[in-house]
A and B are shown apart, each in its own frame.
Chain A
């Protein structure tokens, strides 16, 4: 599989939370190449099944990779300019001066503008402009605008993916399209491996606004194991050292209350067996990814998190190492192919253990 072209296609596709249509089509097509069955659920998550070889009833593992991106939404129009709200969480400061696409009747290029510093009082020049004082300009008259755009239309960053030095790539929506690519790589590799368990790759919707696709798709699928693939903070200046991870040194594996300790250990063992670079990501707090929702679905599911380090999260220039994306797909395929009937039992604690020792 050619990682870079697929990543570029997914990064540049539009798929703001709740309106993932365009990226959904690409994901369906891509997952269908390696899966036995692909469908879409009520909220729009894409569910791809690659069947295992064990006799029924077979246990199932679910990989969740959210396909939605943060974006903006038209909230009102005034004198030919567009007021907007956020869908998900941009730092207001990255919005000023960005190029965007307004998805109205057609895709309209636009600029997020502010008043020029030349005409502003000194005090105002020094402060960030809050997003509700910013406007999008698509260069149309009020009448033309009213004919093309309505309240509720979505807006994405206008940004092509670029390849940087050192095997790095930078673009919008790398959070979380890189993980979708990793899942596709995993499915492709599984196609050439023997695996007993059923494997579901689920491209969930609306993660950025409340893990909604994960909540509903997990309830529906009732998997025996759940692994979320997401992004984590890459090392960059002015960020705390302990929360950030090197690019190019492999995916991180999460440990903490959100993750089943035996499942975490099994993933670390799998990385070591592959002699694959990986990093440990301790998480004292529970939050931030589809793993939070999956762990508490129905009667509870042993859950893990594998993350790809990414710089400048929630900006249009998110940057990752392509190698880390490929490693993640490979690690998960290896892990899944080694799952057998005994694995689930090895996760459960028997409350009657050592009963004779008392």
Chain B
């Protein structure tokens, strides 16, 4: 199951090798070509079956997850670390991690409650005060096992929580391994358009991979697939949950990084309605995605983003609904089929 393997794979921004190797092995017989570049992007090209001139469609999902980097080795063998990508410091205490190329298990240490004062427990421990313990009892021992610059992820295994109802799953890095899994599943079908599946690196540290991928591909339109904020836990006030689990793929109208092209939004909503696929709108103004850089490539690319809602993104373990996941696959497949009739021609309005 793609989502499971992708979720479990080790891939903080700048170290996505395991993720792209899995995708390359999986897709090499399903697409016409695979290309890699200096940023670590993997671009899979699938030629369309329609008549020329065919639309060039970029479907983007990012391979990286938020993680950490070892930045110092203390005399006592404990490891200092910093975040790669944005992570809430409050997530960091007392978690299991995997360190370095050997994927050594480690833990983020935290003082026992018995030995802390109430005032201390009011304070968030910042990342520069936290340490990882891999069991090394000296800096020499630690240096024989890890190096400064080694990457670290949370040690979380994927698990399906139910085969009925919401069919939820838990695992790490659903942002954006869910998007990667959806994109990979698109390769199973033929489309009338030329399809570029761009598995982009380094989204979490500044949308960097997608930027150069879009420059290279020069698409006519682009879809960014994401795992996005789902804040549907009970609240005191009647405010937006951003998205809700189980209500279908979430379409972005506007976020901090771009305003979606309304024609692509209409393509998605009309296709969903025609095929009985549920969908929702993500709360505008929240977050940023690769679409933010893709739409600004060269002379501009009409773009839209659509996502699987995920509770607890940028945390050690997230949750999504496989119903939403499956619906996004269906929605994207149907939309790519419908695109040529709906798209009024490149450039001009």
Contact = CB atoms under 8 A, between A and B. Distances in A.
* Direct contact between the two chains A and B in their complex (CB within 8 A): yes
Contacts of B35: 351
A299 interface: yes
A258 B37 CA distance: 14
A260 B201 CA distance: 12
Contacts of B211: 296
Given A256-B14, A299-B37, A355 B28 contact: yes
Given A242-B80, A352-B24, A286 B205 contact: yes
Contacts of A240: 128
A171 interface: no
A139 interface: no
A300 B215 CA distance: 9
A295 B68 contact: no
B185 interface: no
Contacts of B202: 257, 286
B25 interface: yes
Interface stretch (B52-60, B69-77, B165-173, B320-328): B69-77
Interface string A271-308: 00000000010101110000000011111111100000
Contacts of B38: 260, 295, 299-303, 347-348
A56 interface: no
B125 interface: no
Interface size class of A (residues with CB under 8 A): 20 to 34
A349 B209 CA distance: 15
A255 interface: yes
Contacts of A355: 28
B338 interface: no
Given A282-B69, A282-B148, A351-B20, A296 B39 contact: yes
A11 to B, nearest CB: 31
B206 interface: yes
A29 interface: no
B90 interface: no
A295 to B, nearest CB: 7
Contacts of A124: none
B215 A298 contact: yes
A284 B24 contact: no
Given A256-B69, A282-B71, A351 B208 contact: no
Chain A contact surface mostly? loop
Interface in B249-307: none
Nearest to A299: B216
B205 A257 contact: yes
A354 B25 CA distance: 9
Contacts of A285: 82-84, 205
A348 B39 CA distance: 10
A299 B215 contact: yes
Interface string B1-44: 00000000000011101001000110010000011111111100
Nearest to A287: B206
Given A242-B71, A296-B211, A300-B38, A280 B205 contact: no
B212 A298 contact: yes
Given A256-B69, A257-B13, A296-B39, 19 more contacts: A256-B14, A256-B149, A257-B15, A257-B208, A261-B15, A282-B71, A282-B148, A284-B71, A284-B81, A285-B83, A286-B202, A296-B208, A298-B215, A298-B216, A300-B39, A303-B38, A349-B20, A351-B35, A354-B25
Interface of B: 13-15, 17, 20, 24-25, 28, 34-42, 68-72, 80-84, 128, 148-149, 202, 205-206, 208-209, 211-212, 215-216
Interface of A: 240-242, 255-258, 260-261, 280, 282, 284-286, 295-303, 347-352, 354-355, 358
5 tightest A-B contacts by CB?
A: A257-B14, A300-B212, A351-B34, A284-B82, A255-B149
30 contacts: A242-B72, A255-B148, A257-B13, A257-B15, A257-B84, A260-B38, A261-B15, A282-B71, A282-B82, A282-B148, A284-B68, A284-B71, A284-B84, A285-B83, A285-B84, A286-B202, A295-B39, A296-B208, A298-B212, A298-B216, A299-B212, A300-B39, A303-B38, A349-B20, A351-B20, A351-B24, A351-B34, A351-B35, A351-B42, A352-B24
